[in-house]
Amino acid sequence: MKAGVMRAMFLSGAVFNWLVGLGLLFDAGLLFELFSVSPTPTEPLFVHLFAWLVIVFGVGYYWISRDPPGNVPIIRLGMLGKASVVLVCLAAVVMGTASWQLMILAAADLVYAILFWRAMRALG
């Protein structure tokens, strides 16, 4: 993976996280309604805490975009975070506590988890 492509990928990951985090922060119901995900979260404190966590991870991806080789530990953390979102969402769908449409949102995290893994391999 070329350095420019890698930087752009992590920058896109940062922007993605910021958009999702801001969407959850300001109107989680609308975000879930757009993807027909049910049930809609009803605990604003936990939604807001999760939104800020998503935004903070986006800051980490931005840092990586500035210097991928110097931020391999943050890449590992990002990969773990993205994979964890996918697994937690999949578990919720399998247990019947969330609709399958949640996996549409989680699919983006799966793509980024795979791309982050490829970047780590490229960095050695």
CA-CA distance, 88 to 17, in Å (whole number)? Answer: 17
pLDDT tens-place string over residues 6-16:
999 999 999 99
The packing angle between helices 72-95 and 102-123, to 10°, is: 150
Cα(108)–Cα(102) distance, rounded to whole angstroms?
A: 11
DSSP for residue 36 = T
Q: What is the pLDDT of residue 5?
A: 94
pLDDT tens digits, one per residue of 105-119? 899 999 999 999 999
Confidence at residue 1, expressed as pLDDT on a 0 to 100 scale: 81
Phi, psi of 110 (to 5 degrees): -65, -45
State which amino acid sits at residue 87.
L
Structure pTM? 0.91
Residue 9 neighbours by CB distance under 10 Å: 20
